[in-house]
Chain A
Amino acid sequence: MTDMPTPKPPVNLDQTMSEGESPFAEEQAWRFCLRCQAALVETPFAEPACLDCQLQYDPKNPATYRTERAIDRLKFWLPGFLLAVASGVISYAIGLQAGELGMALFIAVPVSFGAVLGYAVRSRWIFLALLLIATVAGVVVAAVSLSLAGFFCGASLCAIFMLPAAFGMCLGVGLRYALSITRWDQRWFLPLVLIMAVPYISLWIESQLPHREEIATVRTTLTVDATPAEAWNAIMFYEQVEHDPPWLLKLALPRPTGSVGNKHHVGEVVRCYYDRGYLVKRISRRTPGRLLAFDVIEQKLHFERDITLRDGSFEIVSAPDNRASIIVTTRYERHLSPRWLWRPVERKVVQTLHGHVLEGMRRHAEQHRLPESPRQRDPYHQPRLPELAVSYDHVYSYASQGH
């Protein structure tokens, strides 16, 4: 049995006219044309038909007209938007699995899905801009949901994708306008196919190019109100710091859960455990009261494809007024490219990590020297990080393809 909708009454022409309103106001029409969805107004002097497209309808047969409008504007943007998101997620996933974390993944992918959006969506600029933000967010949320990226990487991707995606969108819009004046039959789909192929072509080209290895060194110095001996005794790794890490470290790095091993002699191994992996460090050099250096001999922290930690050191230098300067150094191999794009992010994370460790050391070194203030006794009190002297060294080396 099929339920038939009951016929709706027609617009009362006399009544609407007497109220001084237009009888053609769309809000007052209860019937809409099946073909063009224009409001249907029954007039006594003509056969019932749409005034816009002249399609007939029968007021007594509800099957011949619509009782409400379909949201047909969706077709101008929804397919293009969904295609852009799907194209972005698929090309990102394939690029992540097949290729390296380079230009193809962080530039070609957003340019491609931005161009798909610009080419396939017909809309005003303001709406296109909003859709671009939604597309970038959609791709990143999908990547995070599919465990292709963590929260911190997702947030970084949002920022990194935005500019190339906007550039791609402008390219797509320009291409659409340029092709709209041609008589090319396949212009509605063939350029889209080519645009969507761009990330894969870029991946292939990137895989053919020689790889460049880059070692970055970050040094951070803090002068503490403690003697060099007190500073030496306060040396601790990230995993041994007791106070809460800053939000950036909480997002970017796995949470340390503990460490096993000593750092009293050269050759001793310290195994540090995290909620998502572990890190093994071996003491490589030790000059009591002055230098403690270690090599990272094993790293399983789920960011091996981003950076590989090489080694690090703690150096204690005497400072005026019987104080000590602590110099923390970390060396790591960079894998993410374009290098210039990721350098500030990496620097910020490593610098924050150094600041967190140095703050832990400072608290430990100065705890016997200063009386604890009531504010410091407050467990919820988060003191400001001390001023740090930060320097960066980048050592470049090159490796051939397949390294």
Chain B
Amino acid sequence: MTTVRLDKWTAFASSLAIPGLGQLAAGNWSCVGWLAAAIALGSVARQFDLPTYLAVGGLIVLGLISAEHAKRLLERRSTVRSGINSRVTVRRPRGRGISIRMEVDSALSATQMWRQISDLPDFLTIDPFHERVTPMRAEMGAGVDLALYHNVFCLRFVRFGRILSWHEGRSYAFSDLSRHDRPREGRRHRGPRQGFPHVFFVEIVPQGDDRCQLVITVRGKWTSHMMPVVVARLWLRWVFLEHARLLMKAL
């Protein structure tokens, strides 16, 4: 028997379309409340003859809040939370470079933390956009290729990377690059130099016997010319704030 697991972005889109639909799909009773709120808002707008932009704006805001709630219902959460604090720092390298550092203080020991973060298919999906990660070898180590399945607002695509360094019990680094097609004669093709190539550096900094700090640094290059680098840095700051929130929730 095959069961379909609802992903968080589908729930997000569902609730954005009809407030409460994502919650219903997630099996949460709050769906009734969201649907009632949407109906009530529509009725109030009709009863008091509110301007159309006000009614539509209200429904959009309600849809967005409902969508975010539905998404959060499907996020991973740990029964015993170990995250204490998190910080995100966006640096400003020259040109189109991107450098973001994320620090998560945890109540886990370095050994416990390594046990969690070394399970790549599990740990790397604690991410706003990573849906599934498949290492190409059973044994983790430098040189192992990774397939990183992304889901960005219901848009699914796969990127590829490689574990660049692996220091057992301490740190590792891996790349996250755009898929490149088989080169065809006379045709340009997207390659690993396109589509925001970046590298994750994951490191554990022990802070005593029962505490540690997880430091994730992302360095890459913003290649798209459709979005200015300044806007891209703001966007990525939001993404990594989300990432930090997810780590705090799941670790």
Structural contact, A56 and B144, CB atoms closer than 8 A: yes
The answer to the question of B79 belonging to the interface, with a C-beta cut-off of 8 Å to chain A, is no
Flag the segment in B104-112, B133-141, B232-240, B243-251 that touches A: B133-141
Set A53, A61, A180: member contacting B180, Cβ < 8 A? A53
A37 on interface, CB distance cutoff 8 Å: yes
Closest Cβ of chain B: how far from A48's Cβ, in Å?
Answer: 9
Residues of B within 8 A of A35 (CB): 147, 160, 179-180
CB pair B182–A53 under 8 Å, yes or no, is: yes
Most buried by B among A1, A52, A58: A58
A1-B136 in contact given A36-B181, A64-B147, A186-B226 (Cβ < 8 Å): no
Are A2 and B136 touching (Cβ within 8 A)? Answer: no
Using CB atoms, name the residue of chain B closest to A52.
B182
Q: Tell me whether B134 and A56 are in contact (CB under 8 A).
A: no
How far does the alpha carbon of A63 sit from the alpha carbon of B147 in the complex, in Å? 9
A53 to B: closest C-beta gap in Å: 7
B-contact bits for A51-85, CB 8 A (1 contact / 0 none):
01101111011011000000010000000000000
How many A residues face the partner with a CB closer than 8 A?
A: 23
Please tell me if the beta carbons of B138 and A58 are within 8 angstroms of each other in the complex: yes
Closest to B224 in A: A185
The answer, yes or no, to whether B80 is at the interface (CB within 8 Å) is no
For A53, what are the chain B residues with a Cβ–Cβ distance below 8 Å? 180, 182
Partner of B2, one of A3, A34, A52, A122: A3
- A186: chain B residues within 8 A (beta carbon): 225-226
**Could you mark each residue 117-139 of chain A with 1 if its beta carbon is under 8 Å from any beta carbon of chain B, else 0?**
00000100000000000000000
B194 CB to closest chain A CB (Å) equals: 12
CB distance B137 to A58 under 8 Å?
A: yes
**CA A60 – CA B134 in complex, angstroms?**
13
Residues of B within 8 A of A3 (CB): 1-2
CA distance A64 to B188 in the complex (A): 27
B3–A55 CB distance below 8 A? no
CA distance A234 to B158 in the complex (A): 78
Q: Which residues of A contact B145 (CB under 8 A)?
A: 55-56
A53 CA to B226 CA, complexed, in Å: 29
Taking the closest CB of chain A, its distance from the CB of B38, in whole angstroms, is 30
Determine the distance from Cα of A57 to Cα of B138 in the docked complex, in whole angstroms. Answer: 10
State the Cβ distance, B157 to closest chain A Cβ, in Å.
Answer: 12
**B5, B145, B147: most-surrounded residue (chain A CB, <10 A):** B145
Contact residues in A for B3 (Cβ distance below 8 Å): 1-2
A35–B158 Cα distance when bound, in Å, is: 8
Q: Are B147 and A34 in contact (CB under 8 A)?
A: yes
In angstroms, Cα B187 to Cα A3, docked, is: 38
User: Distance (Å) between the CB of A64 and the closest chain B CB?
Assistant: 5
Q: Indicate if A103 sits at the interface (CB-CB under 8 A).
A: no
Whether B226 pairs with A56 at a CB distance below 8 angstroms is no
Q: Which residue of B lies closest to A190 (CB)?
A: B226
Complex contacts, B138 vs chain A, CB 8 Å: 58, 60-61
Q: List 25 A-B contacts (CB under 8 A).
A: A1-B2, A1-B3, A2-B2, A3-B1, A34-B160, A35-B147, A35-B179, A36-B181, A36-B182, A37-B182, A38-B182, A52-B182, A55-B160, A56-B136, A56-B137, A56-B144, A56-B145, A57-B136, A60-B138, A61-B138, A64-B134, A72-B181, A185-B225, A185-B226, A186-B225
Closest 10 A/B residue pairs (Cβ) = A56-B136, A185-B225, A36-B182, A56-B145, A63-B134, A64-B136, A3-B2, A34-B147, A55-B145, A35-B160
Q: Which residues of A contact B (CB under 8 A)?
A: 1-3, 34-38, 52-53, 55-58, 60-61, 63-64, 72, 122, 180, 185-186
Q: Could you tell me which B residues sit within 8 Å of A by CB distance? A: 1-3, 5, 134, 136-138, 144-145, 147, 158, 160, 179-182, 187-188, 225-226
13 new A-B contacts at CB < 8 Å, known A56-B136, A63-B147: A2-B2, A3-B1, A36-B182, A37-B182, A38-B182, A53-B180, A55-B145, A56-B144, A58-B136, A60-B138, A122-B187, A185-B225, A186-B226
